[in-house]
Amino acid sequence: MNFKKEFETHLTNFSDNYPEIKRAFEKSKMHNPTMNLTYWHSHIYMLNKMEIEEWSKDTSILDLGCQMAILPHYFKEIGFTDVSATNSKNEAGNTLEDLEHVWSCMNMNVEHLHILPEEEFTLDKKYDIILATQSNVHWNSKKLLVIHDGKLYHDYYVMDKNNKSHTFFVPYNVSELKFLIENIKKYLTPTGKALIYAHPFPYWDDRFKEELDFLQEHTEVGYTDSGAPLFQHSYFIIKGDK
Ligand SMILES: C[S@@+](CC[C@H](N)C(=O)[O-])C[C@H]1O[C@@H](n2cnc3c(N)ncnc32)[C@H](O)[C@@H]1O
């Protein structure tokens, strides 16, 4: 199996092979996923790093935060028999219907999961592979406040006069990262691995040195070698407890 080549072919031929799903994508203004291969380069790099070509077809895989479910749908299409997926209803808001329509066209059963800082979450079982790609599970927006016209708001993004959005977040600190890593480990098989492709990855910034040191000690931190900004292409891999 040449994962890169085969997945790229899948994306390139997606509209021809899955016209109904493609129409369902197009109904969503918010989430219509890109088939642009550049977007998927980092995913491919990281999955190769996790030795995807060695995974047996009964590997249990969870895509945590699947949105339009491109990856879990592909895994099922190529014969993986134990593929699960989650998405956050809170985050989807009024776009949930669009997502549900796509998942039904794909025949994907997607569970709701919204992870909060230092709040225990449960999964149905242990997995060999957990993927959280282009993920914002490391955002702590709980204590983020906006002051506008003398009033306090909890909004975490604003649209400017040019209709461009500006999003604000506080990245998980050491204690929150530790909690997240331990929580995920509970749901990894002893040889299991979880890929957190945190987007954006804030920890290269000097202000987050303590967090980066912690991640480097407890996980495998890496980035793809595409020459693009580090925050766009960094990830960490959590390993199961043997
Ligand atoms: C940008 S999408 C990524 C979609 C896809 N994984 C990819 O690589 O293109 C982010 C995903 O993370 C999920 N998500 C966002 N915040 C979350 C949270 N606090 N807990 C769990 N999932 C969350 C969203 O529901 C969504 O599925």
**pLDDT tens column, 56-100:** 999 999 999 999 999 999 999 999 999 999 999 988 988 999 999
User: Ligand 1 center to residue 66 CA distance, Å?
Assistant: 6
pLDDT at 30 over 80: yes
pLDDT of the residue at 106: 97
pLDDT at 51 over 90: yes
> Rounded to whole angstroms, how far apart are CA atoms 29 and 57?
34
User: Looking at residues 169-188, what average pLDDT do you find?
Assistant: 97
Give DSSP secondary structure letters for 78-147: TT-SEEEEEE-HHHHGGGHHHHHHHHHHHT--EEE----TT-----SS-EEEEEEEEE-TTEE-TT--EE
| C-alpha distances out from residue 211 to 41, 68, 137, Å | 26, 31, 15
Q: Ligand 1: which residue has its CA nearest to atom 11?
A: 65
Please name the residues in contact with 46: beta carbons below 8 A apart, sequence gap of 6 or more: 133, 195, 197, 222, 224, 235
So where are the chain's domains? 3-239
**What does pLDDT average to over the chain?**
94
pLDDT at 232 over 80: yes
CB distance 61 to 75 below 8 Å? yes
Question: Which of 51-55, 64-68, 129-133, 231-235 has the least mean pLDDT?
Answer: 231-235
pLDDT of the residue at 101: 96
User: Ligand 1 center to residue 208 CA distance, Å?
Assistant: 23
pLDDT of the residue at 1: 80
pLDDT of the residue at 17: 98
Q: Ligand 1: which residue has its CA nearest to atom 3?
A: 134
pLDDT at 165 over 90: no
Q: In percent, how much of the chain has pLDDT > 90?
A: 82
pLDDT at 8 over 90: yes
Q: Ligand 1: which residue has its CA nearest to atom 5?
A: 66
User: Ligand 1 center to residue 195 CA distance, Å?
Assistant: 13
Mutate to test the pocket of ligand 1, among 136, 137, 183 (most ligand atoms within 8 A of CB): 136
Q: Ligand 1: which residue has its CA nearest to atom 15?
A: 136
User: Ligand 1 center to residue 149 CA distance, Å?
Assistant: 32
pLDDT of the residue at 141: 83
pLDDT at 227 over 80: no
Give DSSP secondary structure letters for 191-235: EEEEEEEESS--TTSGGGHHHHHHHHHHSEEEE-SSSS-GGGSEE
User: Ligand 1 center to residue 44 CA distance, Å?
Assistant: 18
Mutate to test the pocket of ligand 1, among 67, 116, 137, 180 (most ligand atoms within 8 A of CB): 67
pLDDT digits (tens, 9 = 90+) for 91-141: 898 899 999 999 999 999 999 999 999 999 999 999 999 999 999 999 998
pLDDT of the residue at 143: 83
> Rounded to whole angstroms, how far apart are CA atoms 60 and 129?
6
- 89-94: long-range contacts (C-beta < 8 A, 24 or more apart)? 89/114, 90/114
Q: Provide the whole-model pTM.
A: 0.95
Domain at 3-239, CATH from 3.40.50.150, 3.40.640.10, 2.30.140.10, 1.10.238.10: 3.40.50.150
pLDDT of the residue at 43: 96
pLDDT of the residue at 189: 98
Ligand 1 contacts (CB < 6 A) are 65-67, 87-88, 91-92, 113-115, 133-137
